[in-house]
């Protein structure tokens, strides 16, 4: 298939793209590349990439593709809370516009990066795909609204698929340190403390980014009738953990560290665990290969290899919200998170 991957230069995109290519797909990326100065390790996939803000995508950008995998967006709750109206504009309105353009030019399959965080404050029960969404952040609410809009667009020629991923972890060229497993392992390595900012009680499903990528590939290659207008909790049911359980695993892996809690640590309002039996049953080609402990070991090994420091991982290079605010302060981005004209001209020149 010829596949367009938006967000191709992000945390998951830089892992997913090489895996798609290995499967024999022709891949084109689309990314505004807010994080071009944030490469952690390794190299980015060398593919044809459309350097464009997802808000500016036109029909000709998506013409000729068999499928779109839509990862692009403001990627976490702090960014979502920074300017909620921008989360609505980028994560919601632009996603719907992209899907409409894709449908109009004949793209058959549209895989949308949703999230298990849509379940929000859900309690102790295991949640299937039939559970009611209860998002508690602008980020989560944007995902829910996009799912609803895309579902209405489904017809015999256009198949949206909703990939509700567990909280990701694992090494990537564009590593994110705001994700719980990556973050706790980084604290342990750089300070000797597994630093919890909540009381450790919330449940969270977690999954390695390579396995999340395998879910996208399985959904892309599955028969239409298996995935048409369907949502999937992406994870493994046994890989639901309370945050303090993840902290205990980090303590076991990283030598000489202890667990500590922030002075104001309290319960996190995001509290959910999910049932992932549907994807195992329907997408038989989806075969997860990672466990949380193995992922922590991978992270620890990579942190040692690069000599990660506290100042680095907590600083503006890798903290998404701090990096974006820094680009605004430098005059690289305007207040609407658009590249200034000089930068925009350079990006357009790349596309010519």
Inter-helix orientation angle 243-253/180-191, to 10°: 40
Q: Are 6 and 70 in contact (CB under 8 A)?
A: yes
Token pair of 268 as six digits: 């996190």
pLDDT band for position 75 (50/70/90)?
Answer: confident
Q: What is the pLDDT of residue 78?
A: 78
What is the pLDDT at residue 272? 84
pLDDT tens per residue, range 18-70 = 999 999 999 999 999 999 999 999 889 999 999 999 999 999 999 999 999 99
* pLDDT reported for residue 47: 96
> Is the distance from CB of 232 to CB of 215 less than 8 angstroms?
yes
Domains, in order of start, for the chain: 2-174+206-240+269-291+337-351 (3.40.50.720)
The angle that helices 94-104 and 138-153 make with each other, rounded to 10 degrees, is 20
Residue 124: predicted pLDDT: 78
Q: Could you tell me if residue 331 is left (phi over 0), alpha (psi between -120 and 50 degrees) or otherwise beta? A: left
- DSSP lists the bridge partners of residue 4 as 28, 68
Q: What is the pLDDT of residues 115-145, one digit of tens each?
A: 988 888 777 789 999 999 988 888 889 999 9
Which tens digits make up the pLDDT trace of 202-225? 899 999 999 999 999 999 999 999
Coil, strand or helix at 146: helix
pLDDT tier, 345 (very low <50, low <70, confident <90, very high otherwise): very low
Q: What mean pLDDT is reported for the chain?
A: 92
Flag whether the pTM goes above 0.85.
yes
In sequence order, what E strands does the chain have? 2-6, 26-30, 49-50, 67-70, 109-115, 121-127, 159-165, 167-169, 193-198, 203-208, 230-234, 240-242, 258-266, 271-274
**Cα 261 to Cα 127: distance, rounded to the nearest angstrom:** 29
33 sits in the region (left: phi over 0; alpha: psi -120 to 50; else beta) called left
């Amino acid at each position: 298939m010829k596949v367009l991957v938006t967000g191709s230069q992000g945390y998951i995109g830089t892992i997913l793209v090489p895996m798609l290519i290995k499967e024999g797909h022709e891949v084109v990326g689309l990314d505004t590349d807010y994080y071009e100065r944030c490469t952690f390790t390794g190299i980015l996939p060398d593919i044809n990439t459309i350097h464009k803000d997802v808000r500016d995508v036109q029909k000709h950008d998506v013409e000729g593709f068999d499928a779109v995998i839509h990862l692009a967006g403001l990627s976490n709750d702090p960014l979502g809370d920074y300017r909620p109206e921008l989360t609505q504009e980028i994560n919601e309105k632009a996603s719907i516009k992209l899907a409409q353009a894709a449908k109009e030019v004949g793209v058959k399959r549209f895989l949308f990066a949703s999230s298990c965080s849509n379940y929000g404050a859900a309690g102790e029960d295991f949640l299937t795909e039939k559970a009611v969404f209860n998002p508690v952040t602008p980020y989560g609410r944007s995902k829910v609204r996009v799912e609803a809009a895309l579902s209405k667009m489904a017809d015999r020629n256009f198949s949206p698929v909703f990939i509700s991923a567990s909280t990701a972890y694992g090494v990537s060229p564009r590593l994110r340190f705001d994700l719980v497993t990556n973050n706790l392992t980084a604290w342990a390595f750089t300070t000797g403390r597994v630093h919890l900012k909540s009381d450790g009680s919330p449940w969270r499903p977690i999954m390695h980014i390579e396995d999340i990528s395998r879910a996208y590939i399985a959904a892309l290659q599955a028969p239409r009738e298996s995935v048409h207008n369907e949502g999937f909790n992406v994870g493994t049911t046994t890989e639901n953990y309370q945050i303090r359980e993840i902290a205990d695993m980090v303590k076991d892996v990283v030598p000489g560290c202890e667990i500590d809690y922030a002075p104001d640590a309290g319960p996190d309002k995001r509290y959910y665990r999910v049932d992932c039996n549907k994807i195992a049953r329907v997408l038989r080609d989806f075969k997860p290969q990672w466990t949380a402990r193995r992922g922590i070991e991978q992270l620890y090994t990579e942190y040692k290899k690069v000599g990660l420091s506290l100042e680095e991982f907590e600083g503006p290079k890798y903290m998404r919200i701090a990096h974006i605010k820094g680009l605004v302060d430098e005059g690289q981005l305007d207040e609407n998170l658009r590249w200034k004209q000089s930068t925009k001209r350079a990006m357009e020149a790349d596309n010519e």
